[in-house]
Amino acid sequence: MEYVKPERIWLKDHAKLNERWIQQRIAEDPSILGLGDLVLKDRERLQPRAGRLDLLLQDPETNRRYEVEVQLGRTDESHIIRTIEYWDIERKRYPQYDHCAVIVAEDITSRFLNVVSLFGGSIPLIAIQMSALQIGEQVALLFTKVSDELPLGLVDEDEEVQETADRAYWESRATKATVAMADELLEIIRTFDSGLDMKYNKFYIGLAKGDRPNNFAIFRPRKSNMRLEFRLDPSEELEQQLEEAGLDVMEYNRRTKRYRLRLTESDFEEHRELVTDLLKRAYANSNV
């Protein structure tokens, strides 16, 4: 196989290739950004009193939207402001979706990264550095994620600041019957990891092996039911399975990446096999 050394070219100074050409390439195949199998929702999207958003992409499975701004050359202050402004407009106009700002530029400067760090995770912002490589008469585009969203802390990571409780606390807050459902769930879990025990906290009952939490599933007993939360990525197939089972499914928590079910004792008995499968999948997912 013959090695060919590519030549990087700067599109900002290119005579023929411009920002519109870049937009077209992304619009034709949004997956080149490396953000997943996204689809094009809109292009040059008019913003009220604020110009036009270059590209609006959407994840067809999670319905998450990405407000994408493309800039040739270096990132600058006006481009950062514009990207955040368009993201803010879109999330206010369409709050039913989860939104993420994306800035694509040929040169992501250290100053830009310093500015992003000031947001402290309050603005979901992804920075992607774009490189154009010429090989003979052909041009390739390479997109590299330079700055990702700051991941929000999960329940496990906040374990040390959770106030501890005990079984009596939960039996008084809920009922002995619904707390006993947590015991039954633990027995199921112990069929594939015998070392796990319940860990009582004031906001939930978690799982731990020794002093190490493993909250792939957590329990929140209530007066009339048990809220079971398990960590799995969103899946249309899984959601259809839960719907067909007739279970009481709450809205998916995108921050903690958890499905949430309200289980009564009769639900648990009728769908024990399904619940067991969900717990096994969540456990396997936590050990990937």
> Residue 93: which residues within 8 A CB-CB, separation 6 or more?
none
How many CA atoms lie less than 13 Å away from 235 in the CB half-sphere? Answer: 12
Beta bridge pairs of residue 68: 55, 102
Q: How far apart are CA 212 and CA 141, in angstroms?
A: 44
**CA nearest to 278, candidates 260, 256, 266, 264:** 260
H or E element that contains 258: strand 258-263
Pairwise CA distance, residues 268 & 245, whole Å = 11
Please report the pLDDT score of residue 284 as a whole number: 92
| Per-residue model confidence (pLDDT) at position 152 | 46
Contact 86, 101 (CB under 8 A): yes
- Contact partners, residue 287, CB within 8 Å, separation at least 6: none
DSSP secondary structure code for residue 11 in this structure: G
For the residues of 115-162, what is the DSSP string, one character each? HHHHTTTSS-EEEEEEEEEEETTEEEEEEEEEE---PPPPTGGGGGGS
- Got the DSSP string for 236-250? HHHHHHHHHHT-EEP
Alpha carbon 105 to its chain centroid, in Å, reads: 23
Could you give the CA distance from residue 38 to residue 64 in angstroms, rounded to a whole number? 9
Domains and CATH numbers, the chain: 7-147 (3.40.1350.10), 156-286 (3.90.1150.20)
Contact 147, 125 (CB under 8 A): yes
pLDDT tens series, the chain, 288 aa: 888 888 888 888 888 888 899 999 999 999 999 998 888 999 999 988 778 999 999 987 777 899 999 989 888 888 888 899 999 999 898 888 889 999 999 888 877 777 777 765 678 889 899 998 988 888 989 999 887 765 444 444 444 445 568 999 999 989 999 999 999 999 999 999 999 999 998 889 999 988 888 999 999 999 999 999 999 988 889 988 998 999 998 888 877 888 999 999 999 999 999 999 999 999 998 875
Check: pTM over 0.85? Answer yes or no: no
